[in-house]
Structure 1
Amino acid sequence: MRNALRVLAFDLLAPLAAIAGLLYVGLALDWPTWWVSVCSVLCVLIVQGVIVDFVLYRRDGVTVGTDDEGPMLRLVVVGLAAAALAVAVVVGYTRWTVPDRTMNADAAEVVGIASSVAEASATFTPQDPNASIDRATGLMTAERADAYRKEFAAVVKELASKNIAGQASTISAGVEAIGPAAASVAVVMRGTQNAPGKPPDVAVLALRVTLSKDSGKWLVVDVTPINAR
């Protein structure tokens, strides 16, 4: 029974684990040409080692796993198998887990930024007419911030002269598309406009906010109505 377990662990499972680790690395790397060559050579060497082990068993009646005079050889076999599995775990984590976490973090960040800019675009107080503009432009690229201020300068002056206040809150926001350096977010808001002597004017607004990533920071590059024709 003891020998059977040693054969299973050292002569069968260890080589299979090493081959599985090498194949997993290839899968994680999407099988580049250089790894196809390396993996093929290593797998052939492992298979050859298993064949030699079987031949020695037929000749001497012992294998790597059952040879009491070869503990160092068993240690090497286990070490190589463990190394292959460790490399597979590291490569899989680096190629799959980290990018997924980064994308999820980016998605959450761009939605938050888009919602803040969209709400600021539809928010206005006569007492502090530039507050919402400053809030929005703080999340924009320099070029877009300058254009945004010019676009809303006349609107701000008119609303302030009429003592009109506006407030917006996000109903829902979601990522339309996202990549390593660009994203598009759709934001649906409920906007309320209050004018002296008039009932509140409530409307549902839909905006598309596009962003770019510069030096690790997401910034807004454009804000447009989704239903624009």
Structure 2
Amino acid sequence: MRNAWRVAAFDVAPPLAAVAALVYIGVALAWPLWWVATCSVLCVLIVQGVVVNVVLARRDGVTLGTDDDGPGLRLAVVAVATAAVVAGVAVGYFRWTVPDGALHDDSTEVVGIATSIAEASATFTPQNPTASIDRAAAMMSADSAEALKSQFATVAEQLTSRGVSAQASTISAGVEAIGPGAASVAVILRGTQNAPGKPPENAILALRVQLTKHDGRWLVDDLSPIHSR
């Protein structure tokens, strides 16, 4: 029973764990050519070691795991297998877990920015006609902010003269596309417009918000309506 345990622990588990770790690293790295070559060589060496161990077991009746005179060699085999597993875990963490976490954080951030700027762009009060557009401009790149302010100036003057106010709230928002430095978010709003002497007018607005990352900060480059086809 003792020998069976040692065979499983030192003769079977380490080579299997090492090969599995090498293959896992290859999957995580998407099998670049250099790793295909490296993994192939290392796997051949592992298989050769297993074959030698089997031959010695048939000839001498002992294996690496059951040889009482080879504790140092057993320790080295376990250390190498452990190093391979640790390397596999590290590669998987930095190739998958870290980017997935960053993508999730970026998605949450761009949706929050998009909803805020969409609501600000569709909100207006005659008492402070530039308040909402100033909030929107603060979330935009410099050129886009200036363009938005210039476009809004004429509209703000007309709405102020008529005493019209508008308020918008987000119904739904979602990421259409996102990458390391650019993103597109669709936002659906419910807008309510109030004018003196008239009942409130409700409308559903759909906007597309284009964002890019500048020095680690997401900024809006474009805000445009989504037209139904």
Q: TM-score w.r.t. structure 2 length?
A: 0.97
Equivalent-residue separation in structure 2 for 1:118 and 1:110 (angstroms): 12
3-state SS of the aligned residue for 1:173? strand
Structure 2: segments with no counterpart, 5+ residues: none
Alignment of 1:51 with 2:51, yes or no, is yes
Q: Deviation of residue 126 (structure 1)?
A: 1.2
Residue 22 of structure 1 corresponds to 22
Alignment of 1:112 with 2:112, yes or no, is yes
Matches within 5 A, 1:202-217: 202-217=202-217
Amino acid in the other structure paired with 1:103 = L
Amino acid in the other structure paired with 1:216 = G
Q: Deviation of residue 41 (structure 1)?
A: 0.9
Equivalent-residue separation in structure 2 for 1:206 and 1:51 (angstroms): 66
Structure 1: segments with no counterpart, 5+ residues: none
Q: Deviations over 1:126-171 (max 9, x none)?
A: 1111110110001101110010000001111111122211100000
Residue 222 of structure 2 corresponds to 222
Residue 37 of structure 1 corresponds to 37
RMSD of aligned alpha carbons: 1.1
- Runs of 4+ deviating beyond 2 Å: none
Q: Deviations over 1:100-150 (max 9, x none)?
A: 111111111111111111101110111111110110001101110010000
Equivalent-residue separation in structure 2 for 1:43 and 1:227 (angstroms): 57
Residue 67 of structure 2 corresponds to 67
Give the number of equivalent residue pairs. Answer: 229
Residue 151 of structure 2 corresponds to 151
Q: TM-score w.r.t. structure 1 length?
A: 0.97
Q: Deviation of residue 59 (structure 1)?
A: 2.2
Alignment of 1:187 with 2:197, yes or no, is no
Equivalent-residue separation in structure 2 for 1:135 and 1:103 (angstroms): 26
Residue 91 of structure 1 corresponds to 91
Aligned residues with identical type, % of pairs: 66
Residue 198 of structure 1 corresponds to 198
Q: Deviation of residue 42 (structure 1)?
A: 0.8
Q: Deviation of residue 39 (structure 1)?
A: 0.7
